[in-house]
Structure 1
Amino acid sequence: MMRLFPAACLLAGSFLPVSAAAQCRLALALALDVSGSVDATEYALQQQALAAALMRPEVQDMFFALPQAPVRLMAYEWSGPSHQRILAPWREISTQNDLLNFTGELTDKLRRPAPPSTALGTAMAFGLAALAQQTDCQATTLDISGDGKANTGPLPQNIKPLALAQNTTVNALVIGADNPASGDIRYFEIGELISYFKANVISGSGAFAEAALGFSDYEEAMTRKLMRELSPGFFSKNQVPTSPKEKGAPSSARPARIALPLIPGSAQP
């Protein structure tokens, strides 16, 4: 079944205006899974762990390594097809206070009722639409966290071409079971989930999937992920060519509406 998917045509006015103050080297969108498999404790832990990872001294060093070319951040949560909620809007990270303000906005948000389903494809498209507006950034990356496979909405593998078309890298943080008593089953399950994300979600040159053994391991996993994403050696591989006339340069045109097949039997977006 084909339906027109509206998330890719969000208004440009919903996002950060272009700033001439400094050349943004990377726009990074952080997407947090709040589907039904994430309980209230895990929800709070995920928010706090992301904030803590962003404030790690080694991560701050990466943010401020090139002061003339700052990083731009935003964070949103996602679950079912109708739930994508911005937790912290686009902010240019030039100082420690910028990071403090960003993490403060992030952790101040209380949980709202959300569909329990897992619309991973919709979450990807929402992030890509936000990143498509950051046209003055040298590179764009979507950092999506998840603890399960898509069970509603567009198939995530059908969203990957959108990322390739706009030259956006998609990385994943895959969250496994928290219970160590699960033993070998725990490692088998997260291995299977990592394979799923690698095959269907991550996209772009140098794209990767990081693993967290439960939400208790989220801060450490996110720290590793941010260190890798913020390194100049990573984002330089994914820069948009400076001229559309360059060989292999992607088209600057953004598709306004995209017809996508839904997961069979899923709810409508």
Structure 2
Amino acid sequence: MLAPYALPAAAAPLSLNYDPDSEVDVELVLAVDISQSMDRDEQEIQRAGYVSALTSEEVLEAIRIGPTGRIAVTYMEWGGAEEQFVVAEWAMINDAVTARAFAAKLAEAPIRHKQRTSIASALKQAVNLIQINRFNGMRKVIDISGDGPNNQGGRVTDARDQALTSGVVINGLPLMMKAEKNTWQAMMNLDHYYEDCVIGGPGAFAIPVRSTEAFADAIRMKLVLEIAGISPNANALVQKAAARKKVTCSLYD
């Protein structure tokens, strides 16, 4: 006579801990630069751009057509190595009501400035936020924006590579709104820096923002692509890395 079948000891906790309400299509960290090089007008445009994008019909439609019809998102501002601030805690968005509630937290939060630019530390903290939340996303994405290179907190490529081992995808929003009047920013090719030194993971992409007028549209496009899990046509948006000289990522660290 066959002995009664028993589940392996390790299987029971997995079954008991499963929470279908925690499932989302993507866990998304919006990691937003508040370093001193971002003046107040730019910060207000940046904040308003996220508020507008998160409540836009395009983003809501991208959420609705996903496998679960919901995403989890948090909004973190960052400056120097020890300067990361969660403006809006993790929340699930699955309709216009939840989107407006999350966006309202951003709209109501005060604007702050910090001195340095630690992309490396921002990536580390973003990974930590993903690892400690209650959600279970099919994909995990860090959406990091900034207007300068990493200049504090260790090598940006080390932080990027470590983040990628946790299974996240890092997308970038290099802000080049000062490039026409700021020779330093124009010379450093921030879009190339983000491509070579910051972003990574399957389908990772960067969308440069070259004017304040284009900011809201760029954020909306980027969120739709991230929520839908697709990448833009690289030929239309960025120059292929193979067609140019690679950036020396450690130059600014």
Q: What TM bracket, shorter-length normalisation?
A: 0.7 to 0.9
Q: Which has the larger radius of gyration?
A: 2
Question: Does structure 1 conserve the Cα–Cα contact (< 8 Å) formed by 2:35 and 2:80?
Answer: yes
- Code of the residue aligned with 1:225 in structure 2: it is K
1:208 Cα shift?
0.5
Query: How far apart are the structure 2 equivalents of 1:196 and 1:18?
Result: 41
* 1:178–1:216 contact (8 Å) kept in structure 2: no
- Please give the residue correspondences for 1:1-269 in structure 2 after superposition, counting only pairs within 5 Å: 20-21=20-21, 23-66=23-66, 68-112=68-112, 114-134=113-133, 136-178=136-178, 182=181, 188-189=186-187, 192-233=189-230
Q: Deviations over 1:76-135 (max 9, x none)?
A: 1001112101111100112211100000001110023x4311111001111111112346
Q: 2 CA distance for matches of 1:159 and 1:265?
A: 14
When residues 83 and 215 of structure 1 are mapped into structure 2, their CA distance, relative to the original with a 3 A threshold, is farther
The share of aligned pairs that are identical, in percent, is: 23
Letter aligned with residue 127 of structure 1: A
- Distance in structure 2 (CA, Å) of the matches to 1:200 and 1:65: 33
Higher relative contact order (CA 8 A, sep 6+): 1
| Structure 1 consecutive aligned stretches of length 4 or more whose deviation exceeds 4 Å | 185-190, 263-266
Task: Pick closer, same or farther for the CA change 1:178–1:19 going to 2, 3 Å.
Answer: farther
Deviation for aligned residue 1:198: 1.0
How many residues matched?
218
More helix by proportion, 1 or 2? Answer: 2
- Residue 106 of structure 2 aligns with an amino acid whose one-letter code is L
- The C-alpha deviation readout for 1:140-175, integer Å capped at 9, x for no partner, is 000000000111112210112222211100000010
With over 3 angstroms needed to count, the CA separation of the structure-2 counterparts of 1:233 and 1:44, relative to structure 1, is closer
State the SS of the aligned residue for 1:157: helix
State the alpha-carbon separation in 2 of the partners of residues 65 and 207 from structure 1. 21
Deviation at 1:23, TM superposition (A): 2.0
* Partner secondary structure for residue 191 of structure 2: helix
Q: Which stretch shows the higher mean deviation, 169-178 or 17-26? A: 17-26
Q: 1-side partners of 2:230 and 2:114: how far apart?
A: 38
Aligned partners of 1:212, 1:75: CA distance in 2, in Å?
A: 19
Whole-angstrom CA distance in 1 between matches of 2:210 and 2:96? 29
8 Å CA contact 1:22–1:68 kept in 2: the answer is no
> What is the root-mean-square deviation of aligned Cα atoms in Å?
2.7
Return 5+ residue gaps in structure 1 as ranges.
Answer: 1-16, 235-262
- What is the one-letter code of the residue matched to 2:119? L
Asked if the contact 1:23–1:69 (Cα under 8 Å) also holds between the matched residues in 2, the reply is no
TM-score of the aligned structures, taking structure 2 as reference length? 0.78
Can you give the 5+ residue segments of structure 2 that lack an aligned partner in the other structure? 1-16, 232-249
